[in-house]
């Protein structure tokens, strides 16, 4: 049976346009847009969006639900994490399946499908973390691209865990140049960082703030530069994840000025938090331990500038939550044992709307960096990331004037603290549709685990 929903009277904002329009949804997809009040569409459900924004559901291209990491597991499951994402106006996540050393890509991907299937409130897709580059892995990359896993993360950090050396990186890049895959790089010189970690601990520097001091901006910049050059040698595009340092943005900007297919992602934590948080007393700084690390406040202006000039194209969360009690606490007395990662999948759309309110970016740029470009970058556009006839009806009714205070007391992520505790923001998600189904209705959860489906992706749609 066909179902029809009409959203009336809102301001429809996409990456390219802002227009007052009524939106007709039929069988989970956008069917038409029309000048308000000009069409007498019959509908099973009518949503009044007068005075509200009607925006595409957020696309968060970097999450780690249930990631085994740092001797524990990220505390959000696919069920809790995708429900929290829906609360925050995100309707698609791209999570990272993990190849363990000594195992195949297929085994890793199968394991992640098993964790997600039947549990997600919103749609999901996968990137693949490649930890073991060998001839079999390289062949498997071709197969994964064909079946819709078209991006591969490699690590220049974390020796002994996810780390790849330059030769392994070059080989994977050469393969992706052939098969259309996109290499996503964690760009930090992990070998050098491990030396600095050892020296800091030997000096008795064990507090969380030293995590920020040893993971130097210069070592992010060096790795970013090296990754760009390796990609250039391979003739492959490159996407650098969680960029936090001014010096790394400069490397990306230079490469882009040369016309290279080099892209950069940053995350809300680098835009809104800083080393001041890492230095909070009584081990509270552990709540802010992630890699790349938070930087001194001065770096933020350059990140905002990069987002305006398109030297950075995407804001994702790198959502990788660990509870303070029992998880972050693993690193008391040794900052290197604090599990790396921050919660944020629920906060991204609101924080970026606050950036609109604060004058850092325009409304359309908000939608571009949070919805449209991540969908394009990872081969899901225009199914995801926009509001246009034929697109999935992943739509958020957003109240731009509502005030809220971020807090662990009210958030829906399965983690015992908020990285933004007490932060006041203007703007709030009211209603969320995922493929036409209302999953948040005027701030009530109406979704269900298993509504979200796996979304195979095409190759990158953002190349020069
Ligand atoms: O600290 C972080 N970013 N944890 C998640 C893993 C990664 O490197 O993205
Ligand atoms: Zn195996
Ligand atoms: Zn990373
Ligand atoms: Zn990550």
Environment class of 96 (CB within 10 Å of its CB; exposed 0-12, middle 13-18, buried 19+): buried
pLDDT reported for residue 1:
56
Q: Tell me if 208 is assigned to some domain.
A: yes
Task: Using the predicted structure, report yes or no on whether residue 266 has a pLDDT greater than 60.
Answer: yes
Q: How many domains does the chain have?
A: 1
- What does the alpha-carbon distance between residue 55 and residue 385 come to, in Å, rounded to a whole number? 9
pLDDT reported for residue 385:
99
pLDDT reported for residue 2:
75
Q: Tell me if 353 is assigned to some domain.
A: yes
Mean pLDDT value across residues 145-162: 97
Among all bound ligands, the one having the nearest atom to the CA of 290 is: 1
Q: Tell me if 462 is assigned to some domain.
A: no
Mean pLDDT value across residues 6-34: 98
Mean pLDDT value across residues 375-401: 98
Q: Tell me if 273 is assigned to some domain.
A: yes
pLDDT in tens, 38-87: 999 999 999 999 999 999 999 999 999 999 999 999 999 999 999 999 99
Q: Tell me if 361 is assigned to some domain.
A: yes
The set of long-range contacts for 307-312, using a CB threshold of 8 Å and a minimum separation of 24, is: 307/266, 307/360, 307/361, 307/365, 307/369, 308/360, 308/361, 308/365, 309/253, 310/256, 311/249, 311/252, 311/253, 311/256, 311/264, 312/243, 312/249, 312/252, 312/264, 312/265, 312/266, 312/369
Per residue in 70-90, is it b (16+ CB within 10 Å) or e — as a string? beebbbbbbbbbbbbbbbbbb
- To test the ligand 1 pocket, which listed residue (61, 63, 64) has its Cβ within 8 A of the most ligand atoms? 64
Ligand 1 mean position to 159 CA, how many Å?
14
**What contacts 328, CB < 8 A, 6 or more positions away?**
283, 286, 287, 289, 322, 338, 339
pLDDT reported for residue 341:
98
Beta strands at 151-155 and 182-186: parallel, antiparallel or unpaired: parallel
Q: Whole domain around residue 355: which residue ranges? A: 57-377
Ligand 3 mean position to 148 CA, how many Å?
21
- What does the alpha-carbon distance between residue 314 and residue 348 come to, in Å, rounded to a whole number? 12
Ion ligand 4 neighbours, Cβ < 5 Å = 318
What does pTM read for this prediction? 0.98
Q: Tell me if 384 is assigned to some domain.
A: no
Ligand 2 mean position to 388 CA, how many Å?
43
pLDDT in tens, 186-217: 999 999 999 999 999 999 999 999 999 999 99
Percent of the chain with pLDDT over 70: 100
- To test the ligand 1 pocket, which listed residue (318, 328, 339) has its Cβ within 8 A of the most ligand atoms? 318
**What contacts 326, CB < 8 A, 6 or more positions away?**
none
pLDDT reported for residue 22:
98
Mean pLDDT value across residues 137-165: 98
Among all bound ligands, the one having the nearest atom to the CA of 103 is: 2
Task: Using the predicted structure, report yes or no on whether residue 129 has a pLDDT greater than 60.
Answer: yes
Ligand 2 mean position to 129 CA, how many Å?
15
Task: Using the predicted structure, report yes or no on whether residue 7 has a pLDDT greater than 80.
Answer: yes
Q: Tell me if 180 is assigned to some domain.
A: yes
Assign residue 131 the CATH number of its domain.
3.20.20.140
Reference 238, options 307, 172, 157; nearest CA is: 172
CA distances from 448 to 120, 414, 437, 451 (A): 8, 16, 10, 6
Ligand 3 mean position to 172 CA, how many Å?
17
Question: Which atom of ligand 1 sits closest to the CA of residue 340?
Answer: 1
ipTM over 0.90: yes
Reference 338, options 128, 69, 41, 47; nearest CA is: 69
- What does the alpha-carbon distance between residue 24 and residue 199 come to, in Å, rounded to a whole number? 62
Ligand 1 atom 8: the closest Cα is on which residue? 291
- To test the ligand 1 pocket, which listed residue (320, 331, 336) has its Cβ within 8 A of the most ligand atoms? 320
pLDDT reported for residue 154:
98
Among all bound ligands, the one having the nearest atom to the CA of 317 is: 4
- What does the alpha-carbon distance between residue 379 and residue 373 come to, in Å, rounded to a whole number? 10
Q: In the predicted model, what is the mean pLDDT of the chain?
A: 98
Q: Tell me if 177 is assigned to some domain.
A: yes
């Amino acid at each position: 049976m066909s179902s029809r929903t009409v959203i009336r009277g809102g301001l429809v904002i996409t990456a390219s346009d802002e227009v007052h329009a009524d939106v007709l949804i039929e069988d989970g997809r956008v069917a038409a847009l029309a000048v308000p009040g000009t069409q007498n569409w019959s509908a099973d459900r009518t949503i009044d969006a007068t005075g509200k924004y009607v925006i595409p559901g957020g696309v968060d291209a970097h999450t780690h639900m249930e990631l085994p990491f740092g001797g524990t597991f990220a505390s959000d499951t696919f069920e809790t994490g995708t429900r929290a994402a829906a609360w925050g106006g995100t309707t698609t996540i791209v999570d990272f399946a993990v190849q363990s050393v000594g195992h195949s890509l297929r085994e890793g991907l199968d394991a992640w499908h098993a964790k997600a299937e039947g549990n997600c409130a919103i749609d999901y897709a996968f990137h693949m973390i490649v930890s073991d580059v060998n001839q079999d892995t390289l062949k498997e990359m071709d197969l994964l691209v064909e079946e819709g896993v078209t991006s591969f993360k490699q690590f220049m950090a974390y020796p002994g865990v996810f780390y790849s050396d330059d030769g392994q990186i070059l080989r994977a890049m050469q393969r992706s140049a052939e098969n259309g895959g996109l290499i996503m790089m964690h760009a930090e010189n992990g070998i050098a960082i491990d030396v600095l970690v050892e020296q800091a601990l030997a000096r008795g520097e064990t507090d969380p703030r030293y995590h920020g001091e040893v993971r130097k901006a210069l070592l992010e910049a060096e790795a970013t530069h090296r990754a760009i050059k390796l990609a250039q040698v391979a003739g492959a595009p490159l996407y650098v994840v969680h960029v936090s340092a001014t010096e790394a943005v400069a490397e990306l900007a230079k490469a882009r000025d040369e016309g290279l297919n080099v892209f950069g992602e940053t995350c809300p934590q680098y835009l809104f938090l800083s080393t001041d948080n890492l230095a909070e007393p009584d081990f509270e700084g552990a709540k802010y331990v992630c890699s790349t690390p938070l930087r001194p406040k001065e770096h933020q202006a350059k990140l905002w500038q990069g987002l305006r000039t398109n030297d950075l194209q995407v804001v994702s969360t790198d959502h990788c939550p660990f509870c303070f009690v029992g998880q972050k606490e693993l690193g008391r007395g040794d900052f290197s044992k604090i599990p790396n990662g921050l919660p944020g999948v629920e906060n991204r759309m609101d924080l970026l709307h606050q950036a609109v309110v604060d004058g850092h970016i325009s409304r359309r740029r908000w939608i571009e960096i949070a919805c449209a470009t991540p969908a394009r970058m990872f081969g899901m556009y225009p199914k995801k990331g926009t509001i246009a006839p034929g697109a999935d009806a992943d739509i958020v009714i957003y109240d731009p004037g509502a005030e809220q205070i971020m807090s662990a007391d009210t958030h829906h992520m399965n983690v015992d603290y908020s990285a933004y505790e007490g932060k006041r923001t203007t703007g709030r998600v009211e209603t969320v549709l995922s493929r036409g189904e209302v999953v948040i209705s005027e701030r009530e959860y109406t979704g269900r685990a298993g509504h979200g489906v796996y979304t195979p992706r095409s190759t990158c749609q953002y190349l020069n």
